[in-house]
Chains A and B, each alone.
Chain A
Amino acid sequence: NAGVMQNPRHLVRRRGQEARLRCSPMKGHSHVYWYRQLPEEGLKFMVYLQKENIIDESGMPKERFSAEFPKEGPSILRIQQVVRGDSAAYFCASSPSGTAAEKLFFGSGTQLSVL
């Protein structure tokens, strides 16, 4: 069984460009979470999606950032007009039910570097 797949593993962008990060959850999982990890800061929640719906986006900046999880295809985290401060590791996690007792399955992350 394939785990949570994230691509690309490494993404380099220049300031002002767009970054698109993809996440394919585990088979049968309809709940997706995006986290950002900065050194010494741990994992910061960004957004929680269920198929075609954004459930909670309270951790996502209001500008330049957006996320989607279409009926077909992977979840996409999109960052427009990237700035150096967006450089971080972005992790996607999925779960089958979205319940509090259910563990999250994590992908290997996308390391975004903004030049």
Chain B
Amino acid sequence: AQSVTQLGSHVSVSEGALVLLRCNYSSSVPPYLFWYVQYPNQGLQLLLKYTSAATLVKGINGFEAEFKKSETSFHLTKPSAHMSDAAEYFCAVSVSNTGNQFYFGTGTSLTVIP
């Protein structure tokens, strides 16, 4: 069975500080991993995805994530937080099975303090 755990439902950082959002996954087969962002009253938008190519994945808006198989992690980082980064972030795992392939974490709400 597949699952995703996001540690920390709320994260606050100062503007200009490092952003680190944690995601650990559980999967019996090699997974595909995604980070989505949700702004208020909007649907989710893809930030980046890992599909077994390079382990360090670069996404939009300066975000990147590193796939670490040994730690079953896919943490999201950004060197310098911007006010516009304040949003809800979801990690998701997908595997090559039929049926529901996408499993989402419970989300991390990022607050950026001026």
Contact = CB atoms under 8 A, between A and B. Distances in A.
Interface string A39-71: 011110100100000011011000000000000
Interface stretch (A12-20, A75-83, A104-112): A104-112
Contact of A56 (B45, B51, B100): B100
B100 A42 contact: no
A40 B106 contact: yes
Contacts of A41: 106
Chain A interface size band reads: 20 to 34
Contacts of B107: 42-43
Given A42-B105, A42-B106, A103 B49 contact: yes
Contacts, number: 67
B97 A100 contact: yes
Contacts of B41: 108-109
B45 A101 contact: no
B44 interface: yes
Interface string A15-45: 0000000000000000001010000111101
B43 A108 contact: yes
Interface residues of B, number: 28
B65 to A, nearest CB: 14
A40 B88 CA distance: 11
B28 interface: no
Contacts of B6: 42
B12 interface: no
A106 B94 contact: no
Interface string B85-103: 0000010001111111111
Interface string B26-47: 0000001010100001111110
Interface in B15-74: 32, 34, 36, 41-46, 49, 51
B9 A55 contact: no
Contact of A48 (B32, B49, B99): B99
10 contacts: A42-B6, A45-B104, A48-B99, A48-B100, A56-B98, A58-B100, A99-B101, A103-B46, A106-B36, A106-B45
